[in-house]
Amino acid sequence: MTTKRKGKTMAADAKPAEKLTTVCIYDYGNKPPNFANATPEYLIDALGEIREMSKKCKKWEGWFKEAILGRRADFKAAINGEAYSGLLVDGEQVRIDSDAVREHFKDDPETLEKLMKVIPMVTIKTTRVG
């Protein structure tokens, strides 16, 4: 049995990761999939797979960025491919040095605590089991 998605076919008996990989590579816009019938176990498997794919993509992105920057002398800041155009922009980021802030307020922890903000959050950790 197969399932039809936007003109693409995927095996209904595919493993969750295979289905997920198939679904993730198609453009479904900004609307999330329908999770009404998804079990928590499937959702954890899917989340783990997404995270693994994301790590691989980040690694590949880094390699491509290094390759582009390694050829920087060969072109100007703008690069036009067949499907995408790119623009290399030099810039800086300004960030707060949290170690320096703690050092500055080491004798005044009350003021430091007043400047801090607690943000509630839930972390979902995934670990490959098979």
In the chain, what's the furthest Cα-to-Cα distance? 69
Packing angle, helices 40-70 and 16-24, rounded to 10: 50
Distance CA 64, CA 71 (A): 11
Distance CA 9, CA 13 (A): 12
For the segment 4-62, what is each residue's pLDDT rounded down to a tens digit?
Answer: 444 433 444 444 445 555 555 555 567 777 888 889 998 898 889 889 988 999 999 99
Distance CA 100, CA 9 (A): 55
What token pair was written down for 120? 């509630």
Q: Three-class SS of residue 4?
A: strand
For the segment 66-103, what is each residue's pLDDT rounded down to a tens digit?
Answer: 998 888 777 678 888 898 898 888 889 999 999 999 89
Q: What is the pTM of this model?
A: 0.59
Q: For residue 43, give the amino acid letter.
A: L
